[in-house]
């Protein structure tokens, strides 16, 4: 094939730019972006022609330069952060943004942040206010703490607490609680970062009160209890409850800190789950400081909430790290909305998506699955579609190993591998994330919202419809 002939047909940049203008691309995109796009497309065309021996393919590429440019500009203009449909059944999926928030709260957030707000302005006095004041009283009412503050996440909360209260001194921690939480949060490393000295006591499976007592001394700065949220030691085990530790703390005059991980503020046994330690229980049993995540079982935005004795919280509020870790107006606004919901715990299922998902009945999950399956128009020769029971998980390092019975729609393609089907679902618009197991894909209805069902159906119908073109 005469390559020169094809190379000479590659349009010049200014010709393409003129054409882009008539096609309206210059009103849609900045001129520099269009020029850069043209360069990329023509460079690719050149290298394609260099390795091409097929005249028809070469002509095809040359004839569609404008379409390629349009596609590229559109692709580059697409938002990278997208809403995705979670078909995994894991309610607090850390990779998928953990807790979704409700429409009403999102709307209120939009209303507040599109204008100015009283973030740090006291409307009563006309003077400077405190950003934490908007939810501090609420947190205290719900948990029984004397004061409260919030930072960017619970990892930051632990670092701040140790930096403000333990620095240069020892924090006593059970060997069974030296946890690593996903994403490089390890208690020994956070301790080191804070300037606190880790004093390990007991063994991996058993730690007794005497172990803590034997370690208490001049240089003890605090007793730290960490909820082993993402794993469980079973069998021959023993640990010391917060009540006894609190007693020891009082005896020696040191604060007792509990990192609860998932900020549970309602009894989860009402949802058929095991009881997880609740923030208000920890305070009632004598913890001086409790911290927990905002976006785990609390059901809110990413944050680390700290509550407990005022004298300690005040120390944290004055600490330089506080300024470095402070939450912004987005988080403040949503956190207040979330905590307000806890004033009426009986309505959490209506008001917080996490609890709505947790509390769905088996009957409702089956109905949702039937609705999805019923909207699929995939011929029997192409796929086997079934309603099957499956297991949802809470996720987010809460209740490890505990599953909640759920209902899913499974699809086994007859001419498409399940990995390929999973990939197509993941890469489309909107992305649908599902699990692959036993040679089929699983769409767990627990984490798929009602209004998302038609979208999932449309995506699947299109994937299978396209196979016959
Ligand atoms: C999840 C968790 C953390 C970290 O919380 P983030 O809000 O994700 O930073 C810390 N400690 C425990 C016990 C946890 O479960």
Q: What is the pLDDT of residues 304-350, one digit of tens each?
A: 999 999 999 999 999 999 999 999 999 999 999 999 999 999 999 99
Task: Find the CATH number of the domain harbouring 370.
Answer: 3.90.1150.180
Closest-lying ligand 1 atom to the alpha carbon of residue 302: 7
Helix (H) or strand (E) run with residue 157 in it: helix 154-165
Q: Which two tokens stand for residue 65?
A: 């330069």
pLDDT band, very low/low/confident/very high, at 231 (cuts 50, 70, 90): confident
Does ligand 1 have an atom closer than 6 angstroms to the CB of 331? Answer: no
Binding site membership of 181 for ligand 1 (Cβ less than 6 Å): yes
- Of the three residues 288, 317, 351, the one that is the final residue of a domain is 351
Residues 163 and 70 in one domain: no
Shared domain check, 346 and 214: yes
Mutate-to-test residue for ligand 1 from 229, 230, 300, 302, highest number of ligand atoms within 8 A of CB? 229
Same domain, 375 and 298: no
Cα(155) to centroid(ligand 1), Å: 6
Measured in angstroms, how far is the CA atom of residue 371 from the centroid of ligand 1? 37
**Which of 42, 77, 112 finishes a domain?**
77
CB-CB contact of 298 with 394 (8 Å): no
At residue 329, φ and ψ (nearest 5 deg) are -65, -25
Q: Whose CA is nearest to atom 15 of ligand 1?
A: 261
Question: What rounded mean pLDDT belongs to the chain?
Answer: 95
Q: Which of 331, 351, 371 is the last residue of a domain?
A: 351
Residue 197 tokens read as 């000295």
pLDDT in tens, 338-359: 999 999 999 999 999 999 999 9
Are both 24 and 170 inside the same structural domain? no
State which ligand 1 atom lies nearest to the alpha carbon of 262: 15
Which backbone phi and psi does 132 adopt, to 5 degrees? -80, -15
Q: Which residue has the tokens 């919202």?
A: 449
Q: Are residues 253 and 318 in the same domain?
A: yes
**How many helices (H) and strands (E) would you count in the chain?**
21, 18
Q: Identify whether residues 281 and 405 lie together within a single domain.
A: no
Q: How confident is the model at residue 237 (pLDDT cuts 50, 70, 90)?
A: confident
Q: Is residue 381 domain-shared with residue 319, that is, in the same domain? A: no
- Assign residue 126 the CATH number of its domain: 3.40.640.10
Query: Collapsing DSSP states into helix, strand and coil, what is residue 360?
Result: coil
Binding site membership of 185 for ligand 1 (Cβ less than 6 Å) = yes
Is 368 in the same domain as 309?
no
Distance 343 CA to ligand 1 centre (A): 24
| CA distances in angstroms from 195 to 7, 161, 165, 191, listed in the order given | 65, 11, 10, 7
- In total, how many domains does the chain have? 3
Residue 304 near ligand 1, beta carbon < 6 Å: yes
Residue 205: CB atoms within 10 A of its CB come to: 14
Q: Are residues 71 and 90 in the same domain?
A: no
Q: How far is the CA of 183 from the centre of ligand 1 (A)?
A: 10
Question: What is residue 271's predicted lDDT score, i.e. its pLDDT?
Answer: 86
**How many angstroms separate the Cα of 269 from the Cα of each of 23, 100, 228, 264?**
61, 22, 19, 11
**439 and 390 fall within a common domain:** yes
Confidence at residue 236, expressed as pLDDT on a 0 to 100 scale: 85
Pairs from 380-389 (Cβ < 8 Å, separation ≥ 24): 381/414, 382/413, 382/414, 382/415, 382/464, 382/467, 383/411, 383/412, 383/413, 383/414, 383/464, 384/410, 384/411, 384/412, 384/414, 384/440, 385/409, 385/410, 385/411, 386/410, 388/442
Residue 441 and residue 453: Cα distance in Å, rounded?
Answer: 16
Specify whether the CB–CB gap between 304 and 294 falls below 8 A: yes
Cβ atoms of 376 and 461 within 8 Å: the answer is: yes
Cα 134 to its chain centre, rounded Å, is: 24
Quick one: CA dihedral 350, 353, 356, 359, positive or negative?
negative
Q: CA–CA separation, 10 vs 165, rounded Å?
A: 69
Model confidence at 465: pLDDT above 80: yes
| 315 and 388 within one domain | no
189 and 251, same domain (yes or no): yes
Q: Whose CA is nearest to atom 6 of ligand 1?
A: 154
Owning domain of residue 51: 3-77
Spatial separation of the C-alpha atoms in residues 181 and 294, rounded to whole Å: 15
- C-beta 394 within 6 A of ligand 1: no
pTM: 0.93
């Amino acid at each position: 094939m005469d390559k020169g002939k094809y190379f000479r047909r590659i349009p010049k940049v200014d010709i393409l730019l003129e054409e882009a203008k008539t096609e309206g691309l210059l009103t849609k995109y900045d001129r520099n972006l269009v020029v850069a796009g043209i360069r990329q497309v023509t460079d690719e065309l050149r290298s394609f022609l260099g390795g091409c021996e097929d005249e028809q393919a070469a002509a095809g590429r040359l004839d569609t330069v404008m379409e390629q440019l349009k596609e590229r500009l559109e692709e580059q203009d697409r938002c990278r952060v997208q809403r995705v449909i979670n078909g995994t059944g894991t309610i607090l999926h850390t990779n998928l943004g953990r807790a979704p928030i409700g429409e009403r709260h999102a709307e209120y957030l939009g209303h507040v942040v599109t204008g100015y707000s009283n973030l740090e302005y006291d409307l009563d006095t006309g003077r400077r206010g405190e950003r934490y004041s908007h939810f501090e009283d609420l947190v205290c009412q719900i948990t029984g703490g004397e004061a409260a503050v919030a930072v960017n996440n619970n990892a930051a909360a632990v670092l701040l607490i140790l930096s403000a209260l333990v620095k240069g001194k020892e924090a006593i921690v059970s060997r069974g609680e030296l946890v690593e939480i996903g994403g490089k949060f390890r208690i020994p490393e956070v301790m080191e970062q804070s300037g606190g000295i880790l004093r390990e006591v007991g063994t991996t499976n058993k730690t007794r009160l005497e172990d803590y007592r034997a370690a208490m001394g001049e240089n003890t700065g605090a007793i730290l209890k960490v909820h082993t949220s993402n794993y469980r030691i079973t069998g021959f085990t023993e640990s010391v409850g917060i009540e006894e530790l609190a007693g020891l703390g009082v005896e020696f005059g040191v604060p007792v800190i509990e990192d609860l991980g998932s900020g549970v503020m309602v009894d989860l046994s009402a949802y058929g789950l095991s009881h997880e330690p609740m923030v208000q229980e920890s305070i009632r049993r004598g913890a001086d400081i409790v911290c927990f995540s905002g976006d785990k079982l609390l059901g809110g935005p990413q944050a680390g909430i700290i509550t407990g004795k005022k004298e300690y919280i005040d120390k944290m509020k004055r600490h330089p790290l506080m300024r470095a870790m402070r939450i912004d107006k987005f988080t403040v606004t949503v956190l207040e909305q979330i905590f307000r919901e806890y004033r009426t715990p009986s309505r959490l299922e209506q008001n917080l998506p996490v609890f709505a998902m947790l509390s769905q009945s088996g009957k409702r999950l089956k109905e949702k699955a039937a609705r999805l399956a019923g909207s699929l128009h995939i011929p029997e020769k192409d796929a086997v579609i079934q309603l099957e029971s499956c297991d949802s998980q809470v996720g987010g390092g809460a209740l490890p190993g505990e599953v909640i019975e759920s209902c899913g729609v499974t699809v086994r393609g007859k001419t498409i591998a399940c990995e390929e089907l999973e990939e197509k679902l993941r890469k489309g618009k909107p992305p649908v994330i599902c699990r692959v197991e036993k040679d089929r894909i699983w769409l767990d209805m627990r984490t798929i919202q009602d209004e998302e069902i038609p979208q999932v159906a449309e995506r699947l119908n299109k994937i299978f419809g396209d196979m016959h073109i």
